[in-house]
Chain A
Amino acid sequence: MNCPDVQESLGLYIYGDLPAEERGSLEAHMAGCEGCRKALEDARRLHEVLKERQPLEAAPELLVECRQALEEALDREQLGWAGLLRGWLSAAHLAPATAAVVASCLVVIGFGAGWVVRPRVAGLSPSAQLEYGAAPTAADLSNMRISGISRVAPDPKTGDVRITMDAQRRVTLEGSLDDPRIQQVLVSTVKSYDNPGIRRDTLDALRARASNPNFREALLYSMRHDPNAGNRLEALDTVRSLDWGPDLEKAFLDAVERDDNPGVRVAAIDVLMSHLDDSVLPVLERLAGSERNRYVRLKCAAAVRELGKDGN
C-alpha cells in the first residue's frame, strides 16, 4: 500500500472494516511511515471528538406522538374526510333509533384520538376485535378505544346501520403488589410492553417490593435489556440497594462492559466499587487501559486508583 491508499483506508481501519489482508498491508506500511502514523492519530482524535455528539434517543413521548399522528393520518387516508363525514351523515338520516349509536360512535371517535394506556395482559391481543353477543351500550362504547372503522353500511330497507370497527376495551386491575395477578402483569409489562413511559412507571411500582424474587428478576432483566437507557438506569438505581449476590454482580459487570450508554456504565462502576472481589477489579483494570469511551476509561482508572489507596 502507498500513502494515499493508506490514508483513504484509515477510516475503515478504525471501524474494523478492513479485510485482514488489507489490514496487514496497512499496518506494515505504517510501521515505516511517520506521516501515515500521524494521520492515523489525527483520525483517531477525530473519532474521539465525534463522541461528544451522543447518539440521540427518542423521548418515550415522541414515539407515542408519532404513532398517534400516524393513526389519524391513516384514518384520513383510508376513508378520506369526505368519506368519513358522508358515512356519518348518511347514517344520521336513518331511523332515529340509530342516531344514538352514531352519536356514541362520534363521541368515542373524538375521544379515541387521544392516547389511552393499553396494558398488554398476557394472552390478550391489543388489536383483538371485540365481539358482543348483544350490541354494546353507550357506556361500553365510552370505555373503548376505537382504533379503526372499516365499514359504515346503512341498510335502506330496514333503516339500520352496521358499523364495523376495531376497538379495545380498557381494563383496570387494582390490588396489592402481593397479588399474583398484579405481579404477573407488572413483570410482563417491564419485560415486553412497547411504551417506555409505561415501563418506567412499572419500574417505579416495583421499587416498593424490589426484594420479591419475581420483581428482582424483572428489575435485573430491565437493567440489562430495556431498550431505553433511562429505564436501565432507573432499574440499576433500584437494584443497587438489594441484597448482593452472584446475579447482581454479573448484571453490573455486564452493564460496565456491554451497555451502550456511558451514563449507565459509569453508574454501574460506582456500585461495583462497593462490592470489590476477584471478579471486579480485573475488569476495571482492563477497561482503564483499553476502553474506547473516554469517560468510562477515566472512571475505571479513578476507581482502580481509589481502590489502590484503600489497600484493596
Chain B
Amino acid sequence: MTDGICLELSGNIPEHPSRLSGADELTLIWRAQRGERAAFDALVRAYDQNVLQLVLRVVRSPEEARDLYQEAFLKVYRSLKNFRLEARFSTWLYRLVMNVCLDHLRRQGARKEIQPPVNEETEQEFFQTLPDHRPGLDPERATRSKEIAGRIQRALERLNPRERMVFELKHYQGLKLRAIGELCGTTEQTVKNSLFRATQKLRVDLADLI
C-alpha cells in the first residue's frame, strides 16, 4: 500500500520510511487496539524515527525531545482505540504528533516572558550536527556560521506556532504543500498563506544577513 504521507515525509528523510506493508500494519493496529503491547511496540518502531525528526524541529534540548516523543506516543496509545481506519494510520499519527508539537510551541510562547533566555552554548551543543568535517573551513567562518544559525533559530521561535511548523515542514523537511495541509488538517491555500507570512517575517528578522 502506498503511504502518501509517510513517503512524502521521508522524501527528505529517505532513511525512515515505515517498514510495514499495509496488511501488516492493519494487523498490528487491530492487535494493539486489543491491548497487545508487542503489537503497539512494533507500530512505535515503524514510525518513531520520523516522529523524533518532527519533534526535533520544535525543541531546544534532548530532554524536551524525549518528553515530546513520550507525550506523542502516549497519546497514540490512549487514542488508538478511537482510530477507525477512516484515514491512513500514518496521517492520523503524524497529525496527532503535529498537534503535540503545536501545543508545545504555544506553551513555549506563553512561557517566554518569564523564562530566562536559552543559554546559547547549551542550545548549540544540543544541535548535534555532524562534527565539522569540511576541510579548509577556518575557525572564524565556523564561529560566524554558528552565530547565524543561532539568529535563524531565534527568528523561527518568533513565528507563531502554525507558521513555524509549516515553515519547518516545507523548508527543512521538504514536504509537499498537500502533505502539510493533511498534517495540519487544513487546506493547501491556508498552508501557502502561513508559509508566505512566515517567510516575510524571517526576511525582516534576518534582513541584515541577506
A residues at B contact (CB < 8 Å): 8, 11-12, 15, 17, 42-43, 45-47, 49-50, 52-59, 62-63, 65-67, 69-71, 73-74, 77-78, 127, 147-148, 150, 166, 194, 225-230, 233, 260-263, 266-267, 270, 295, 299, 302
Contact = CB atoms under 8 A, between A and B. Distances in A.
Contacts of A66: 48, 52, 65-66, 69-70
A229 B14 CA distance: 12
Interface stretch (B35-43, B81-89, B101-109): B35-43
Interface string B66-100: 10011001100110000000000000000000000
Nearest to A194: B45
Given A147-B38, A148-B41, A263-B130, 14 more contacts: A50-B202, A53-B156, A56-B53, A59-B62, A62-B65, A66-B48, A74-B77, A77-B77, A194-B49, A226-B15, A260-B14, A263-B132, A295-B137, A299-B134
A70 B73 contact: yes
B23 interface: no
Contacts of A147: 38, 41
A45 B204 CA distance: 13
B41 A55 contact: no
Interface residues of B, number: 58
B160 to A, nearest CB: 17
Contacts of B156: 53
B133 A8 contact: no
B128 A46 contact: no
Contact of B41 (A11, A15, A62, A127): A127
B56 interface: yes
Contacts of B12: 55, 260
Residues of B contacting A: mostly = helix
Contacts of B13: 227
A111 B49 CA distance: 25
Contact of A74 (B74, B127, B199): B74
B66 A263 contact: no
Given A46-B203, A49-B209, A62 B77 contact: no
Given A49-B148, A62-B52, A57 B129 contact: yes
Contacts of A127: 38, 41-42
Interface of B: 12-16, 37-38, 40-42, 44-45, 48-49, 52-53, 56-57, 62, 65-66, 69-70, 73-74, 77-78, 127-137, 145, 148-149, 152-153, 156, 170-172, 176-177, 192, 195-196, 199, 202-203, 206, 209-210
Contacts of A63: 48-49, 52
B66 A267 contact: no
A215 to B, nearest CB: 22
Contact of B171 (A50, A233, A260): A50
Contacts of A226: 15
Top 9 A-B pairs, shortest CB-CB distance? A227-B15, A52-B148, A53-B152, A66-B69, A263-B133, A45-B210, A56-B56, A148-B37, A53-B149
A13 to B, nearest CB: 12
Contacts of A77: 74, 77-78
